[in-house]
Amino acid sequence: MHIANEERLLEALTPNERRALDGASRKLLASLETETFTARDSSDREVQMEITRNSVETKPGSGEWFTGKVYLDAVAAPIGASRLSATSVHFTPGARTHWHTHPNGQTIYVTEGVGLAQCRGGPIEVIRPGDRVFFEPGEEHWHGASPNRFMTHLAMLEVDDEGNNATWGDPVTDEEYGGDA
């Protein structure tokens, strides 16, 4: 078992030392400060449970992949044999992904607000909390907030053999977003 507890570390620092830690170094600490407990399964094989405490910083969505302000919280990350990646993605009003595809498809599950999703050549669909959308492997699509509403969704996928989660294309233009294309 594996515990990353940034808070305990920070408590041991002086105010000056705390201020000296910028976002990048705190992220690094969070990933380094781990405690590992192990157990043995019925075949006497050593197995581990890994806990990542609520210490992972919210990341801004890169302008290479998103239009508008987007905030990302990690929910699950590939580890060992597990290829699962999950992120809680917070889209401010009007923000959206660029056109993109996923090697093994993607499921999004809306948890808050009102959003939009479209696959290339299809209609723009309004999505609301509790709705889920599955995008097939290789399907070119985008998703994001509606023009006047915040939208949060969970994005879940399996990375490919090389660890890739997506292939990114062009931004969704205002005309496409407005439904004129």
Q: Which residues bind a second copy (CB under 8 A)?
A: 1-3, 37-43, 45, 47-54, 75-76, 79-84, 86, 101, 104-105, 107, 109, 117, 119-123, 125, 127-141, 154, 156-158
Q: 2 or 27, CB closer to a second copy?
A: 2
- Nearest distance in Å: CB 66, a second copy: 19
Q: Which is nearer to a second copy, 3 or 21 (CB)?
A: 3
**Nearest residue (CB) to a second copy, 17 versus 136:** 136
CA dist 103 and 160 (Å) reads 6
Q: Residue 121 Cβ, how far from a second copy at the closest point, in Å? A: 4
Task: With beta carbons less than 8 A apart as the criterion, state whether 77 and 83 touch.
Answer: no
Q: How far is the CB of 147 from a second copy (least distance, A)?
A: 20
Closest CA relative to residue 112, chosen from 140, 82, 136, 146: 146
Closer residue to a second copy, CB minimum distance, 18 or 128: 128
Residue with tokens 């990353």: 4
Q: 68 with 54: CB under 8 angstroms?
A: no
Contacts of 111 (CB under 8 A, 6+ apart): 88, 129, 152, 153, 154
